[in-house]
């Protein structure tokens, strides 16, 4: 090390370093060392000058400053979590007030007319969809939102959404569309896209309480970023200062009053864009409105032809299903759905119990949660496929990519929360009708 220090000092003109040194009395001190080459009047190298300074006090001050900064950062994190938790709790309490109150009313009033009962049930369904949207925003920020990408034309999809967006905005607001006709297709999750657009639109609406104009535009970024597609949402609102604009994608930050939202809307957009391989920017200034732009990678694939909607659920009766779910509430709910579809159901609360049941029963399909104590649903699926060759349908509320990359996926994964229609479609796609297996020893 001394030789290397001298060589560096000679080559570069100076060697500088810090480290522990020992005083004559044996105590340690933090030293700042500078070594410089010494030359005579003729330019000949004659030796080195070394200066060692006691930097213990300086190091102590720097350490105290670092600890203070860490304490401040931790305090800010705790404050952020508190704000986030408070906003989520407020929104969920509102949703649960509707769900719980409606359920209580339905239980206490069995004599309600069918028309009112149906209306109350639709209220519960709509409220649960809003709760699902809130958890989706949280998962998107955490990069755990399950994605089911499809090849779509952004202009076509946004044109189809326009009527619903206008109804959501109300008559005080004018919606303008500037959609490029020859847009490159993109491969993204359509549900994530629709949630991101609605969040951006509602954020713009909230910034203009007295009404205004919202403009949605798409274009190919052929000159700026070749291969990228731009989706922008701009408003004519009052705008916000630069110091606030820099923080809009933070999950806990909101310019709205307390109780008016969690501040998760724009962070959901950020998470969606990042997960889709793109990016998002936000520009605003006081008096100049605001514009949010999502940039997504184009694809050479073509959007598939529109699928014909089914008027009813089709599933062959008598399918023997082994249901594996560690949550009692979810297991009871899943069993009801399967039985409503005409399946005969066996239950297991763990992978170990499931392996015991599959040995001695006729099973056509295994439907299992992924995250369970002990062996995971994915490990269970691999064992069952290897030993028995049975089809397995997995379910999860997290991103599928967290458990297994898409290009290595052996088993279909159903996103939670699922409904009767999506469960039936997944089962039909997997088994294509009744497949009774012979009994197993």
CATH number at 44 reads: 3.30.450.20
- In this structure, are residues 306 and 282 in contact, taking their beta carbons and an 8 Å threshold? no
Predicted TM-score of the model (pTM): 0.48
How far, CA to CA in Å, does 422 sit from each of 306, 339, 369, 416, 434?
A: 18, 15, 15, 10, 18
Share of the chain above pLDDT 70, in %: 81
- In this structure, are residues 290 and 235 in contact, taking their beta carbons and an 8 Å threshold? yes
Alpha-carbon distance of 140 to 242, in angstroms, equals 25
- In this structure, are residues 145 and 272 in contact, taking their beta carbons and an 8 Å threshold? yes
Residues 283 and 168 in one domain: yes
Residues 292 and 341 in one domain: no
Residues 293 and 332 in one domain: no
DSSP labels for 383-407? Answer: HHHHHT---EEEEESS-GGGTS-GG
- In this structure, are residues 28 and 20 in contact, taking their beta carbons and an 8 Å threshold? yes
CA-angle at 46, arms to 42 and 47, nearest 5°: 145
User: Where does a domain end: 245, 263, 297?
Assistant: 297
Is the residue at 26 inside a domain?
A: yes
Residue 406 sits in a domain whose CATH number is 3.40.50.2300
Alpha-carbon distance of 370 to 381, in angstroms, equals 9
Residues 167 and 284 in one domain: yes
- In this structure, are residues 37 and 7 in contact, taking their beta carbons and an 8 Å threshold? no
| Exposure string for 138-151, b = 16+ CB within 10 A, e = fewer | bbbbeebbbbebbe
Residues 344 and 238 in one domain: no
Tokens 């910034």 found at:
207
Residues 194 and 327 in one domain: no
Q: How far is CA 411 from the centre of its chain?
A: 22
pLDDT at 85 over 70: no
Residues 277 and 360 in one domain: no
Residues 288 and 351 in one domain: no
Q: Residue 390 corresponds to which tokens in the numbers above?
A: 């049975």
Please report the pLDDT score of residue 33 as a whole number: 93
Is the residue at 119 inside a domain?
A: no
For the chain, what is the domain count? 3
201-205, 345-349, 388-392, 394-398: lowest mean pLDDT where? Answer: 394-398
Is the residue at 137 inside a domain?
A: no
Residues 211 and 244 in one domain: yes
Is the residue at 114 inside a domain?
A: no
| Nearest by Cα to 353 from 323, 393, 319, 386 | 323
Residues 273 and 406 in one domain: no
Please report the pLDDT score of residue 263 as a whole number: 45
Conformation bin of residue 389: beta by default, left when phi > 0, alpha when psi is -120 to 50: left
**pLDDT band (50, 70, 90) for residue 158:** very high
Residues 329 and 280 in one domain: no
Is the residue at 64 inside a domain?
A: no
168-172, 270-274, 299-303, 400-404: lowest mean pLDDT where? Answer: 400-404
Is the residue at 192 inside a domain?
A: yes
Please report the pLDDT score of residue 438 as a whole number: 35
Is the residue at 190 inside a domain?
A: yes
In sequence order, the β-bridge partners of residue 324 are 348, 368
Alpha-carbon distance of 322 to 348, in angstroms, equals 7
Is the residue at 71 inside a domain?
A: no
Which of 137-141, 316-320, 325-329, 381-385 reaches the highest mean pLDDT?
381-385
Residues 201 and 279 in one domain: yes
Specify the DSSP class assigned to residue 207.
T
Output helix, strand, coil percentages for the chain, rounded to the nearest 5.
Answer: 45, 20, 35
Please report the pLDDT score of residue 415 as a whole number: 79
Residue 175 sits in a domain whose CATH number is 3.30.565.10
Domain residue limits at 381: 320-431
């Amino acid at each position: 090390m001394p030789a290397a220090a001298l060589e560096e000092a000679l080559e570069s003109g100076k060697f500088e370093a810090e480290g522990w040194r020992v005083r004559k009395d044996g105590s340690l001190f933090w030293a700042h060392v500078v070594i410089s080459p010494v030359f005579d009047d003729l330019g000949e190298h004659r030796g080195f000058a070394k200066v060692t300074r006691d930097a213990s006090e300086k190091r102590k001050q720097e350490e105290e400053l670092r600890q203070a900064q860490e304490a401040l950062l931790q305090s800010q994190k705790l404050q952020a979590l508190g704000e986030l938790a408070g906003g989520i709790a407020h929104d969920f309490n509102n949703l649960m007030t509707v769900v719980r109150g409606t359920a209580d009313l339905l239980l206490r009033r069995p004599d309600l007319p069918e028309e009112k009962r149906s209306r109350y049930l639709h209220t519960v369904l709509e409220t649960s969809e809003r709760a699902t949207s809130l958890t989706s925003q949280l998962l998107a920020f955490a990069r755990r939102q399950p994605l089911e990408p499809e090849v779509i034309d952004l202009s076509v999809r946004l044109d189809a959404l326009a009527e619903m967006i206008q109804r959501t905005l109300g008559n005080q607001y004018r919606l303008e569309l500037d959609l490029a006709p020859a847009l490159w297709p993109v491969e993204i999750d359509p549900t994530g896209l629709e949630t991101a657009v609605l969040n951006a639109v509602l954020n713009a609406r909230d910034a203009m309480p007295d009404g205004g104009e919202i403009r949605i535009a798409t274009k190919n970024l052929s000159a700026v970023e070749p291969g990228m597609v731009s989706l922008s949402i701009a408003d004519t609102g009052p705008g916000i200062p630069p110091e606030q604009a820099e923080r809009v994608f933070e999950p806990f930050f909101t310019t709205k009053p307390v109780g008016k939202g969690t501040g998760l809307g724009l962070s959901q957009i950020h998470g969606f864009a990042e997960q889709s391989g793109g990016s998002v920017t936000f520009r605003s200034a006081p008096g100049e409105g605001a514009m949010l732009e999502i940039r997504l990678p184009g694809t050479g694939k073509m959007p598939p032809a529109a699928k014909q909607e089914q008027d009813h659920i089709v599933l062959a009766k008598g399918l023997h299903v082994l249901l594996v779910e560690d949550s009692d509430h979810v297991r009871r709910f899943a069993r009801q759905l399967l039985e409503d579809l005409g399946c005969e159901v066996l239950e297991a609360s763990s992978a170990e119990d499931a392996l015991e049941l599959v040995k001695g029963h006729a099973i056509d399909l295994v439907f299992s949660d992924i995250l369970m104590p002990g062996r995971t649903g994915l490990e269970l699926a691999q064992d069952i496929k290897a030993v028995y060759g049975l089809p397995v349908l997995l379910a999860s509320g997290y991103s599928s990519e967290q458990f297994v990359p898409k290009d290595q996926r052996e088993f279909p994964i159903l996103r939670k929360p699922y409904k009767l229609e999506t469960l039936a479609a997944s089962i039909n796609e997997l088994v294509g009708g009744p497949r009774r297996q012979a009994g197993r020893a």
